[in-house]
Structure 1
Amino acid sequence: MKNLFLSLLFFSTLLHGEKPNWVFGKSSDEVYIYGVGSAEKMPNFALQRTIAEASARSNLSENIRVEIKSIFERSSGTNIETKSSYKFIQTSQNSLNFSFVKEKWIDEKGTLHILMAMEKANIKK
C-alpha cells in the first residue's frame, strides 16, 4: 500500500500540462551545466527512466566537454581541439559523479524527459 501511494505521488509530480522550457535544450546557466534526455513510453517504467537518464548523462557529458574546452581556450588563448581530447573525456566522466536529476516531465504521449544537472564548481580544473 505504501509503495502504491509513493508511486502515485511520484507520477503526479511528473505530469504537467505545459512543456517545460528545458525540454528544448538548456546547456548551462550561472551555477549549473545541464543535459537533457528522453525515452519513449514503454511498459517497463524503470527501463524507460534508465534510458532517459543515460541519454541526459550523454548530453551532459558533451556539454561538460564544451565547457572544459572553453575554459582551457580562454586561459591559453589557443584552440586545443586535438591536443587534449582524452583529458576532456576523462574529466567529463569523472565530473558525472556529481550529476543529479533536477527535473522530470512526461508528455502527453508518455515520453519521459529528464533534466540532468551538475554544478559548474565540480568541474575539475
Structure 2
Amino acid sequence: MNMTKGLFRPLHAAGLISLSALALTLSTALPTQATGPGARHLSGDTGRKDSSAQAVSVSRVFCPRGTAVQSGGYSTTHWDHGRDGTLRHTVLASHPVVDAHGRKGWYASAAHAEVTAHVVCAPSPDQD
C-alpha cells in the first residue's frame, strides 16, 4: 500500500508563485543578524517586456555609496499565457552587477514577464 500517495502534490502555479514571492520577501526584505545593523532592502524599477518574440524585461538596482551588496534576487509579475492557457515565464538572469561608475548592485532579466531586481545593502567602511 502506498501511504505517501497524494501527500506530495505539485503546487498550483499561483500557489508556487505566491510561495516564491513570500520566500523572497522574507529572505531579502528583513535584515538578519548575518547582514548586521543598518542593512537596507532596495528594489529597482520594474522592467517592462520588450516587443521581441521573447518579451524580455530587465531591471537593475544599485547600493548607495558607503554600502556593499549582501544579497539580491528578483520578483516577476504580468506573466504571458501559453496557447494551452498556462502561465509561462523564464528568469534569464539574476546576479550581482557593477555599472560603468563602479556602483555595485543587482541585475535581473526575464522572458514573458515583468521583472524587478532586489538587493540588500549593508554599511561598509571599505566602500566609497
Superposition TM-score tier, normalisation by shorter sequence: 0.3 to 0.5
Greater helix fraction, Structure 1 or Structure 2? 1
TM-score with structure 1 length normalisation?
0.35
Larger CA Rg, structure 1 vs 2: 2
